[in-house]
Amino acid sequence: MTQPHFWWQTGVIYQIYPRSFLDSNGDGVGDLPGIASKLDYLRWLGVDAIWLSPIYPSPMADFGYDITNYSDVHPLFGTLEDLDALLQQAHQRDLKLILDFVPNHTSDEHPWFQQARQSRTNEKRDWYIWRDPAPDGGPPNNWSSRFGGSAWQFDEQTEQYYLHVYDVKQPDLNWRNQEVRQTMFDVMRFWLDRGVDGFRVDALEVLLKDEQFRDNPVNPLWKPGDPFYTRLLEHYVVDQPGMHDIMQEMRALTESYSQRVLIGELYLPLERLMPYYGEQLDEIHLPFNFQFVTMPTWEASTIRQAVEGYEAALPQEAWPNWVLGNHDRTRIATRVGREQARLTQMLLLTLRGTPTCYYGDELGMQDVPLPRALMHDPVGKNHPEYSRDPVRSPMQWDGSANAGFCPAGVRPWLPVASDYQTFNVAAEQHDPRSFLMLTRALLDVRRSHSTLTLGSYQSVEQESATCFVYQRQYADQRCLVALNFSAHDQVVTLPEQGQGHVLLSTHGDCEGLIPLSEVHLRGNEGLLIEVEASSLPG
Ligand code: GLC
């Protein structure tokens, strides 16, 4: 029998930031053996795949997103053998392993760039993007780096500028060069041959740049306080013509292996995001849907709009996905508070599509503020208010020193949250009402109800502006999700006559059978209700 759905459609992805998960060798930095030792936890939690942020050799200017060798493991994290062992142990537990693939740029310390900068005629020169200075000697155009300042860096030796959309230590590769493409495709094969289950592809929207290097237009909506680089619209840097041919090639390569997935990091508005599925669904399996991490307001009505807009925009048969947080964005429990974060966890795990969970969010972990002097993130060094260090703090395993992330007496690379004694895996495992047990219960219900993995999605109209209600339906099974995004009690009305069985409340107390005509929700409560078969029309 052929499998009707792939694992990346029914499964749940868990993102691990390897530096911060578990330090097994006492150097204050997480590593691969540390991750391997927690696979049973992940299985217990109930996720299906792990995505690792980069584990490759790197001078760590951007914490592994600046790579010096695409086919090896940084000694901080372990060895290639450790990676193979992790892969094998994950597979033994029926967990998939997804790696981060960073095709847009290398480290400036990568041997390719070292060669390229030797002379204008070096055979690797065209692997990167070089331009002559403007007539006044300044940068070739007005493009900004996403990490601050100009996107161009002058190279004294060869008297040209090179392009870096991110840090000055992350020169952009020239994807118009065929050798670059083939070399990067070989990198993908290297890992796929080893058995990895797919890639989360970094910074995809900027892979190609305007061939004429035209100036970017000024952003009329920019105001002081907004990130510097958003002063200009990235018109000639983002989503350029030619991208889809590359995506198709990447996909064809991936399809030549069985059951692998491509997930794309694409910060794009919906109308520009959807084409990345490919006209024939032959590009990215899951272009990340970042609506929940970029929404300026967090209210029932805006959330509903986001969901409906996304559902309506999806090409036929394209598989949806949802993200609440990642290593670049404020944690959900900080953004919306812990009470609403519970509700939001229910939202993430009951919407139609593949959810990606960020490590620690299952505990209700919050951002850990830190003084500028302790910041590592290159963004934070320039602009402390945008530092991503706070969202990358060590995983909180237990109430012992350093939250069990690294041995007592060792200084973790980033400070541990001050409330770790309350919010940690060990403590929460013993509290049936904890954030962790809610997440686990949601994952459990999701796994055992095809309605939640495969069912259709439909919003249910509400009078109350603070409630978001929807139903999921699969064959003759139906689930209702009712979420109250206010601190006050609310009543929602459902067009059903019969009764429903409350599978889960975010408040941790299950209420059994309830009448569906009028459902009472406490402040910040979410209910997941299975509709009784006899309540279904016809
Ligand atoms: C992506 C990564 C981010 C990194 C950047 C440059 O946005 O998620 O962490 O800094 O790419 O590689």
Q: Write out pLDDT tens, residues 361-371.
A: 999 999 999 99
Residue from 52, 65, 164 whose mutation best tests the ligand 1 pocket (most atoms within 8 A of CB): 65
pLDDT at 72: 98
User: Is residue 2 very low, low, confident or very high in pLDDT (cuts 50, 70, 90)?
Assistant: very low
Ligand 1 centroid–CA 263 distance in Å is 14
CATH class assigned to 456-535: mainly beta
**Arithmetic mean of pLDDT, 146-162:** 97
User: Is residue 538 very low, low, confident or very high in pLDDT (cuts 50, 70, 90)?
Assistant: very low
Ligand 1 centroid–CA 66 distance in Å is 9
CATH of domain 111-163: 3.90.400.10
> What is the rounded (10 degree) CA torsion for 349, 351, 353, 357?
-30
Cβ proximity of 161 and 152 under 8 Å: yes
Minimum mean pLDDT range among 357-361, 435-439, 508-512: 508-512
**Closest approach atom of ligand 1 to CA 388:** 9
Strands of 152-155's sheet, edge to edge? 130-131, 160-163, 152-155
**Closest approach atom of ligand 1 to CA 379:** 10
CA distance 84 to 68: 20
CA distance 278 to 242: 13
Residue in the block written with tokens 């005629």: 121
Residue from 166, 205, 207, 382 whose mutation best tests the ligand 1 pocket (most atoms within 8 A of CB): 166
**Arithmetic mean of pLDDT, 257-284:** 98
Residue from 62, 229, 389 whose mutation best tests the ligand 1 pocket (most atoms within 8 A of CB): 62
Q: Write out pLDDT tens, residues 400-409.
A: 999 999 999 9
pLDDT at 537: 54
Say how many C-beta atoms besides its own lie within 10 A of residue 448's C-beta: 11
**Closest approach atom of ligand 1 to CA 167:** 6
45 vs 464 pLDDT, higher one: 45
Which positions are catalytic? 202, 265
Ligand 1 proximal residues by C-beta, below 6 Å: 62, 65, 102, 166, 202-203, 265, 327-328
Ligand 1 centroid–CA 53 distance in Å is 10
**Closest approach atom of ligand 1 to CA 267:** 7
The three-state secondary structure class of 184 is: helix
CA distance 301 to 186: 46
Which secondary structure element, helix H or strand E, spans residue 307, and what is its range?
A: helix 300-313
Atom 7, ligand 1: residue with shortest CA distance: 203
Ligand 1 centroid–CA 65 distance in Å is 6
Report CA torsion sign: 17, 22, 25, 31. Answer: negative
Cβ proximity of 130 and 174 under 8 Å: no
What's the chain's average pLDDT? 96
User: Is residue 39 very low, low, confident or very high in pLDDT (cuts 50, 70, 90)?
Assistant: very high
Q: Write out pLDDT tens, residues 134-143.
A: 999 999 999 9
pTM: 0.97
**Arithmetic mean of pLDDT, 255-275:** 98
The three-state secondary structure class of 358 is: strand
User: Is residue 535 very low, low, confident or very high in pLDDT (cuts 50, 70, 90)?
Assistant: low
Q: Write out pLDDT tens, residues 281-297.
A: 999 999 999 999 999 89
Query: Within the chain, which residue ranges are assigned CATH 2.60.40.1180?
Result: 456-535
Between helix 337-350 and helix 435-448 the angle, nearest 10°, is 10
Closest CA to 108 of 117, 121, 119: 117
| Res 453 pLDDT > 90 | yes
Atom 2, ligand 1: residue with shortest CA distance: 202
User: Is residue 277 very low, low, confident or very high in pLDDT (cuts 50, 70, 90)?
Assistant: very high
| Res 252 pLDDT > 90 | yes
Q: What percentage of residues in the chain have a pLDDT greater than 70?
A: 98
pLDDT at 52: 99
DSSP-derived pairing of the beta strands 49-52 and 152-155: unpaired
Query: Within the chain, which residue ranges are assigned CATH 3.90.400.10?
Result: 111-163
Q: Residue 493 has which token pair?
A: 């009305």
pLDDT at 415: 97
